[in-house]
Structure 1
Amino acid sequence: MLYLLAEQVERVGFLIAMAFLFSRQQKLRHFMHYQGENQNIWYFICLFSFFAILGTYSGLPVTDIGFRETPWIHKITGWEAIATARTIGVVIAGLFGGVRAGLCVGLIAGIHRYFLGGFVALPCLIAPILQGVFSGLMKNSLKKRYRHISSIQMSFLVGFLAESLQMLLILLLAHPFDKALSLVLLIGIPQILANSLGVAVFFVILIQVALEEERIGAHYAQKALQIAEMTLSYWRKPLNVAVCEIGQALIRETEAVGVTFQQKQNILFQQGEITPFGIDLPIGYRKHNIGFFRMFYKRVQDYQTAEVTAILNGLGQLFSQQYALAEAERQAHLVTNAEIKALQAQMDPHFLFNVLNTIKSLIRTSPDESRKMITQLAKYLRKNMQNVNQDLITIKEELEHVEIYLNLVKARIGERLQVKWELDENCLDYTIPSLTIQPLVENSIIHGIRNMRSNGWVKISVTNMINGVQISVADNGKGMETDFVNEDREEHMGFALTNIQQRLLYHYGEKSNFTIESQIGEGTIVSFVRPVDEGLR
């Protein structure tokens, strides 16, 4: 009996090796992961019918007195029977495919066994059918335990009961009874244990394959997120520049040997090898096709695996979302630029009125001073128009604009205003959004100093910091509430500060660190940071 058990386990090992090969097939794994009971079911039935028939052919011919070794069974005669691993295929079919799959596989396996002959042909016809129905009924119980240790125990128990059912049918239906009893005593325990063990081992393999898939899937998901995080900022650039940088990242971070980006009939980017094996990553925005990345591989197998296909499809969707986000930012930036022009249009009439009045009063008393003011006003207006039409200018250019503005203001209010400059000359060539410092200075004067009884001062600082260039405008004015977007604040003032903050966020994100520190009666400090790793000098 022990020798027969060893032989049975050896034959079961062959079937388990076959099962391992089957488990690598995508269709089979999809079915076994309960992702759709009807999907691929006929493929599943055919596969495990073959598995059950293979278990019959690889069995051992036995009689009531012993067994003989043979590599392959074609037919049996007389009082012979077969010690088989057929039950493994039937039980697995029922446990995963339900009653329908179990019944079909059991029927095919039973009919096949019946035509091989032998005095137990009839019970061996009926047993697989009942085994398939029984294991199919146990499917839901196993499904709740799938991929837990209890699923292995459950599958062993189902295999044990199914094989025991076959032994019982042999005793009930095979004749003569004495030979049937001798046969069951000889093969019963080895065959029950070997087949139950085979079903359980199949589950062990399946669980390990599923865990390995999860590990690989997690790796690819992490890789996709890394690529997405890397490419997010690229989409803020012009499309031809963005696709070049993203294409280079795809070559670096994936196994693709070449990448192109095509927009309609135009190829905006091409790098690496062009092979017959490629996959497209379409980029869409509001139901419009922007273009597509085409990634080329050495072999078709390099991109048709489930994991690679999943990561590429995910990347295509992420790129579309990133493009949509960047496009929304671009639209918001266009609105912001329109707001800048509105800000200037709102500022100019009031400012011009005061300056022209000052010039009018100086024409008679001090013609030279009035000529200087006219010259300064011309420069101011010229700078104003230039800055409005430019997105980024150097800090030096912005400060020149501020200086002209302050000259005009000082010509009006005289010594009541003191201006302090603290400038790091090494930082003045960095670019910043236009009209960021001048509105801050204007707010300090109009809303902080203008109505003061004593003299006021404004200090403009440009300082080199570890995290970038810090620009601040401070005054000793009357102070304000730091909630500058409050509707109770003066509209022009709140609009200017909000506009500046939004533009800084667009260009530099949270790194801009726009802050307002103010105390009523003490003064106000407004500052922001221009990160040194953004843009060009």
Structure 2
Amino acid sequence: MFYLFILMLERGGLIIILAYILMNIPYFKNLLGNRRKASTMVQLIVVFGLFALISNFTGVEIGQNQIKMDQPFTDLSSHSSLANTRVLTIGVSGLIGGPIIGVGVGLISGIIRYFQGGIDAYVYVISSILVGLFSGVYGLKSIRKNAFPKVREGLIIGAAMEVVQMMCILLLSSYFQEAVDLVKFIGLPMILTNSIGTGIFLSIIDSTLRQEEQTRAVQTHDVFQLANETMPYFRSGMNEESCTQAAKIIQKLIKVSAVSITNKDSILAHVGAASDHHVPSKKIVTNLSKEVLRTGEIKEVHSHQEIGCDHPDCPLEAAIVIPLKSQGKTVGTLKMYFTDASKLTFVERQLAEGLATIFSSQIELGEMELQSQLLQDAEIKSLQAQVNPHFFFNTINTISALIRIDSEKAREMLLQLSTFFRSNLQGARTNVIPLEKELLQVEAYTKLEQARFPDRYQIEMNIENGLNNILLPPFMIQILVENAFKHAFRNRRMDNLVQVTVNKIDNDILVSVQDNGYGIEKNRLGKLGKESVSSERGTGSALENLNKRLISLFGDRAKLNFESSEKGTIIICKIPYQGMEG
């Protein structure tokens, strides 16, 4: 009995080896992931049917409770039986594929066994079908969960299926006593062999899938890390500096011999082997890159000649070239080189295809962000341009009126106007200016207004120390002061005070302009800064434009806030702290 157990383990080992080989074939692993499809079921029946064929023809002939022959054979004597691993292959097929596959493999195995002959050969057709059915029904539980039975379940079910076969031999055989003797002789070795074999088969499946999941997890982590680290460089545009940094990261994480990035005409970066002649700013030298730029398709080569580099000492022996695209057009290439051609495998090909999509998306997003920023800057410049004529014409009218009355004062006002517009032109070229320059504009504007209306307006500046170099949008404070002068006091000639306050609170700058005027009507208050509000002395477009600029630059949190009562109005704005070094 012990010798038979050893022989059965040998036969089971052959099936296990074949299972291990099978689980390392990607096509078979894909089949296991689609077990419910009819085409997959047919293919699995064929595969496990071949296993059953091998199991039958590598069995051990048993006659008169003795091992008669332990070599492969096809025919049995009329009073012999066969100990084999047929139940192992049928049971595993049912556990993996369900009752249809289990019964199909059982029928194939039973028919083969029937034609091998021996005593009561028909019994094994029936037992094979029952084993396939029972194991398949149990396997449905795992299939519905898109999983596989556990190893412990395999050990139990494997033993149980062999017990089913032993019961069939006892109940269906024509010679009961011979059946009892046969079961006593082969029962325990075959139950143990089938149990161990089924458990090992399932453990191979489980460990292979776990290893694949772990590999995918590691690869996914590496790809995410790669995408995260290269994102700032690809999104900042394709230039030598950004592409060199991106190439260094790619070579480090993917561990290839060299990485090169090109635009449509020249090499932008080359890191690693062959960097002595594949140098930035040089025209593209390889025919391979030119072909990818022309076709827009990934190319893979495995020889120095196919790369197409003319340098005699070039160490590069294999390469995969990825087209980098933006809005459907090829704008450059990413090349991964290998000094050992055997290192370029199917895995690298799949990785390259994924990276092509990621990097192309990053480049396209960078271009979209650039276009959006240009559009935003153009809108801000347009809003700033709308402010300048508004103040300019008011000042010219004031100077024109003073020329006849007080030419010296008109002269001083022209100098102030010159100073104001010099700063104004500088401010129009940028989205932010230092607070110090903004205050000079406010001072020039205030003097121009006070020259026109002596003693009518008073202005107080409450500026926190150390904030002269903070950055804020040009004309911001000047517009708020001008708005107060024009609208807050109506026709009141005395005691008109405007207070400008600038403080730093945590990481924000709080700017407020407060007046002691008559306040704003409630029906107008909610519209200010959001739309043009007509009045006797203007349209309110200056506040609307300023509010749009603030939101464009800093988001909704920087919008103007209005508080008003019969005692006056305060306009508050909070912008992020940003110094000249920013």
TM-score, length of structure 1 as denominator length: 0.76
Query: Post-superposition shift, 1:80?
Result: 4.3
| Unaligned 5+ runs, structure 2 | 275-315, 452-456, 490-494, 534-539
1:437/1:473 contact within 8 Å kept: no
Aligned-partner Cα distance in 2 for 1:208–1:399: 69
Is 1:226 aligned to residue 276 of structure 2? no
**Taking structure 1 as reference, are residues 310 and 100 closer, same or farther at Cα in structure 2, changes over 3 Å only?**
farther
In structure 2, what is the equivalent of residue 413 of structure 1?
450
**Taking structure 1 as reference, are residues 264 and 420 closer, same or farther at Cα in structure 2, changes over 3 Å only?**
same
2:442/2:477 contact within 8 Å kept: no
In structure 2, what is the equivalent of residue 477 of structure 1?
515
2:261/2:333 contact within 8 Å kept: yes
1:496 aligned partner, one-letter code:
L
**Taking structure 1 as reference, are residues 36 and 122 closer, same or farther at Cα in structure 2, changes over 3 Å only?**
closer
SS in 1 for 2:511: strand
In structure 2, what is the equivalent of residue 499 of structure 1?
549
- Match among 480, 491, 494 for residue 444 of structure 1: 480
Query: Post-superposition shift, 1:351?
Result: 0.5
1:529 aligned partner, one-letter code:
P
Query: Post-superposition shift, 1:445?
Result: 0.8
**Taking structure 1 as reference, are residues 378 and 256 closer, same or farther at Cα in structure 2, changes over 3 Å only?**
farther
In structure 2, what is the equivalent of residue 404 of structure 1?
441
2:220 aligned partner, one-letter code:
A
**Taking structure 1 as reference, are residues 516 and 187 closer, same or farther at Cα in structure 2, changes over 3 Å only?**
farther
Q: CA RMSD in A?
A: 4.4
Query: Post-superposition shift, 1:353?
Result: 1.4
SS in 2 for 1:476: strand
Report 1:61-460 matches (<5 A).
61-67=61-67, 73-74=72-73, 77-78=76-77, 79-97=79-97, 101-102=101-102, 105-106=105-106, 109=109, 118-119=118-119, 123-124=123-124, 128=128, 131-132=131-132, 135=135, 139-147=139-147, 155=154, 159-160=158-159, 162-167=161-166, 170=169, 178-240=177-239, 242-264=242-264, 266-273=266-273, 275-279=316-320, 281-296=322-337, 304-305=346-347, 313-390=353-430, 395-396=433-434, 399-400=436-437, 402-413=439-450, 416-422=458-464, 424=466, 428=469, 436-448=472-484, 450=486, 451-452=488-489, 453-460=495-502
**Taking structure 1 as reference, are residues 399 and 56 closer, same or farther at Cα in structure 2, changes over 3 Å only?**
farther
Query: Post-superposition shift, 1:96?
Result: 3.5
Q: What does the per-residue CA deviation read over 1:199-228, in whole Å, with 9 as the maximum and x for residues that have no partner?
A: 244334433433443344333333333333
1:440/1:526 contact within 8 Å kept: no
What percent of counterpart residues are identical? 25
Aligned-partner Cα distance in 1 for 2:191–2:130: 16
Q: What does the per-residue CA deviation read over 1:209-259, in whole Å, with 9 as the maximum and x for residues that have no partner?
A: 334433443333333333333344434423325544433332233333432
Q: What does the per-residue CA deviation read over 1:346-394, in whole Å, with 9 as the maximum and x for residues that have no partner?
A: 212221111112222333444444334434434544554454444x66x
| Unaligned 5+ runs, structure 1 | none
Aligned-partner Cα distance in 1 for 2:176–2:408: 134
Give the length in aligned residue pairs: 512
2:427/2:474 contact within 8 Å kept: no
**Taking structure 1 as reference, are residues 106 and 243 closer, same or farther at Cα in structure 2, changes over 3 Å only?**
farther
Aligned-partner Cα distance in 1 for 2:528–2:217: 46
SS in 2 for 1:82: strand
**Taking structure 1 as reference, are residues 377 and 447 closer, same or farther at Cα in structure 2, changes over 3 Å only?**
closer
Aligned-partner Cα distance in 1 for 2:397–2:476: 24
Report 1:29-68 matches (<5 A).
29-34=29-34, 37=37, 44=44, 47-56=47-56, 59-67=59-67
2:216 aligned partner, one-letter code:
G
Aligned-partner Cα distance in 2 for 1:9–1:316: 50
Query: Post-superposition shift, 1:442?
Result: 2.7
1:155/1:203 contact within 8 Å kept: yes
SS in 1 for 2:574: strand
SS in 1 for 2:34: coil
Aligned-partner Cα distance in 2 for 1:294–1:482: 58
**Taking structure 1 as reference, are residues 266 and 35 closer, same or farther at Cα in structure 2, changes over 3 Å only?**
farther
1:473 aligned partner, one-letter code:
V
In structure 2, what is the equivalent of residue 23 of structure 1?
23
1:214 aligned partner, one-letter code:
E
1:91 aligned partner, one-letter code:
G
1:110/1:124 contact within 8 Å kept: yes
**Taking structure 1 as reference, are residues 100 and 523 closer, same or farther at Cα in structure 2, changes over 3 Å only?**
same
SS in 1 for 2:66: coil
Query: Post-superposition shift, 1:17?
Result: 4.9
TM-score, length of structure 2 as denominator length: 0.71
Q: What does the per-residue CA deviation read over 1:502-529, in whole Å, with 9 as the maximum and x for residues that have no partner?
A: 2235xxxx9xx74766643463442322
**Taking structure 1 as reference, are residues 244 and 472 closer, same or farther at Cα in structure 2, changes over 3 Å only?**
farther
Query: Post-superposition shift, 1:340?
Result: 1.8
Aligned-partner Cα distance in 1 for 2:126–2:402: 118
Aligned-partner Cα distance in 1 for 2:383–2:145: 66
1:249 aligned partner, one-letter code:
I
**Taking structure 1 as reference, are residues 267 and 128 closer, same or farther at Cα in structure 2, changes over 3 Å only?**
farther
Query: Post-superposition shift, 1:403?
Result: 1.6
Aligned-partner Cα distance in 1 for 2:85–2:328: 56
Q: What does the per-residue CA deviation read over 1:86-110, in whole Å, with 9 as the maximum and x for residues that have no partner?
A: 3322333344345665566556655
Query: Post-superposition shift, 1:407?
Result: 0.9
In structure 1, what is the equivalent of residue 310 of structure 2?
none
Aligned-partner Cα distance in 1 for 2:341–2:361: 29
